[in-house]
């Protein structure tokens, strides 16, 4: 009888100890299986390329595979929502972008909010690029604007999705220049580039990484970029700000976020690993090839503050110019 009671008390004590250790025990063991890094865009674009470089280096440091899983569609809403609804255990992460913010500002209803995520680290910061089909009846930005003004609604442009930062960037350019070009949204940047090369659309807006092979081969014409000045990896892309539109700039970011409720110990482990990778020369070189600018790292709280400020800036901009994005 006494032995039995002692056994029960012992078991209860062990259970209490386990509960007391809680997240710490899990964090010490983490990770015990592969980690998924969800990219809410199609494979092949600048975002996807950068995510794969990051995932490989994260895996090397975590001692497990970090695999990229593409979940494109609805301007990144499908992939973002998938992560928001995933278990908060550190094994499903979001390789996020401005689409996390823009989806909530440009759509009537989305099934998630910024508060559904914990910002771990911003790792990439870059401009947006515009290119044209090789047979387009213009050869540079000024000629494009002139042609579009003379032929309103005749030209089309492709983007990686409605409500994405590249869509916003092009719409801002249209507003600034007073031109009308029809938007054709795609499920990712890579297919939008392919169809522009094929002549199904006249122009494409997106990342430089997926455009560069076709620019070099002469299948796409470089038209312009939305940074304040050209970058070393794409000197053939002139800054719109330097072509009669001073101050015009639209940049985009990428960073890693975890579902809300992820244990603090795991959040810290992941943040530290991502920051270490982000500051490495190896990742900086890989990101540079995608048109990214250096020193993009923001960790934890600083990343969260940045997201909040960006959301306020975008809300003001969209309300001011009354932009709307089709689903």
Output the pTM of the full model. 0.78
Six token digits for residue 173:
């350019």
Q: Could you say which DSSP state residue 327 is in?
A: -
Residue 10 has pLDDT above 60, yes or no: no
Query: Do the Cβ atoms of 274 and 98 come closer than 8 Å?
Result: no
Cα gap 126→231, rounded to integer Å: 10
pLDDT digits (tens, 9 = 90+) for 25-34: 555 689 999 9
**Residue recorded with tokens 């249209």:** 174
**What is 52-101 written as a DSSP string?**
HHHHHHHHHHHTS-EEEEE---GGGHHHHHHHHTS-SSSSEEEEEETHHH
pLDDT band at 36 (very low <50, low <70, confident <90, very high): very high
31 cis-preceded (ω within 30 degrees of 0): yes
Asked if pLDDT for residue 1 goes beyond 90, the answer is no
Q: Where are the beta strands (DSSP E) in the chain?
A: 35-39, 66-70, 92-97, 117-127, 129-133, 156-159, 182-185, 203-206, 220-225, 251-259, 298-299
Question: How far lies 103's CA from each of 36, 90, 106, 141, 169, in Å?
Answer: 22, 24, 5, 29, 15
Output the pLDDT for position 74: 86
| Local structure of 236: helix, strand or coil | coil
Model confidence over 258-296: pLDDT tens digits? 999 999 999 999 999 999 999 999 999 999 888 888 889
As a whole number, mean pLDDT of residues 245-270 equals: 95
| pLDDT for the residue numbered 7 | 36
Coil, strand or helix: which one is 113? coil
From the list 173, 103, 168, the residue with the least C-alpha distance to 327 is 103
pLDDT digits over 139-153, tens only?
Answer: 999 999 999 999 999
- Residue 207: helix, strand or coil by DSSP? coil
> Is the pLDDT score of 322 beyond 80?
no
SS3 track for 275-287: HHHHCCHHHHHHH
pLDDT value of position 20: 41
222-237 pLDDT per residue, tens: 999 999 999 888 999 9
Query: How much is the average pLDDT of 196-223?
Result: 96
pLDDT of residue 24: 52
Confidence check: pLDDT of 45 > 60: yes
Confidence (pLDDT) at 27: 57
Lowest mean pLDDT among 194-198, 231-235, 256-260, 301-305: 231-235
Beta bridge partners of 126: 252, 292
Mean pLDDT of the chain: 89
Count Cβ atoms within 10 A of the Cβ of residue 113 and give its class: 0-12 exposed, 13-18 middle, 19 or more buried: exposed
């Amino acid at each position: 009888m006494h032995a039995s009671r002692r056994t029960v008390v012992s078991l209860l004590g062990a259970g209490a100890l386990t509960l007391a250790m809680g997240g710490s025990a899990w964090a010490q063991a983490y990770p015990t299986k592969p980690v998924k890094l969800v990219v809410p865009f199609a494979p092949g674009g600048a975002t996807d390329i950068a995510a794969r470089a990051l995932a490989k280096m994260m895996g090397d440091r975590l001692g497990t595979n970090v695999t990229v899983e593409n979940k494109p569609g609805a301007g990144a809403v499908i992939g973002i929502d998938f992560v928001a609804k995933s278990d908060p255990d550190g094994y499903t992460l979001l390789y996020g972008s401005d689409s996390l913010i823009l989806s909530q500002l440009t759509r009537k209803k989305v099934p998630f909010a910024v508060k559904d995520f914990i910002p771990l680290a911003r790792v990439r910061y870059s401009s947006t690029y515009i290119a044209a089909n090789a047979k387009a009846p213009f050869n540079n930005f000024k000629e494009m604007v002139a042609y579009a003004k003379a032929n309103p609604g005749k030209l089309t442009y492709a983007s990686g999705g409605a409500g994405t930062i590249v869509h916003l960037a092009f719409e801002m350019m249209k507003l600034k220049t007073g031109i009308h070009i029809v938007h054709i949204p795609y499920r990712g940047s890579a297919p939008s580039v392919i169809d522009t090369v094929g002549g199904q659309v006249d122009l494409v807006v997106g990342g430089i990484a997926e455009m560069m092979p076709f620019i070099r081969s002469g299948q796409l014409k470089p038209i312009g970029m939305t940074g304040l000045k050209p970058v070393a990896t794409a000197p053939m892309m002139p800054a719109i700000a330097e072509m009669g539109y001073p101050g015009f700039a639209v940049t985009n970011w990428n960073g890693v976020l975890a579902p809300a409720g992820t244990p603090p110990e795991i959040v810290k482990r992941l943040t530290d690993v991502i920051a270490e990778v982000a500051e490495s020369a190896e990742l900086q070189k890989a990101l540079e090839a995608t048109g990214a600018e250096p020193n993009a790292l923001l960790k934890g709280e600083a990343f969260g503050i940045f997201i909040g400020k960006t959301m306020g800036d975008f809300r003001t901009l969209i309300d001011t110019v009354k932009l709307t994005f089709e689903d």
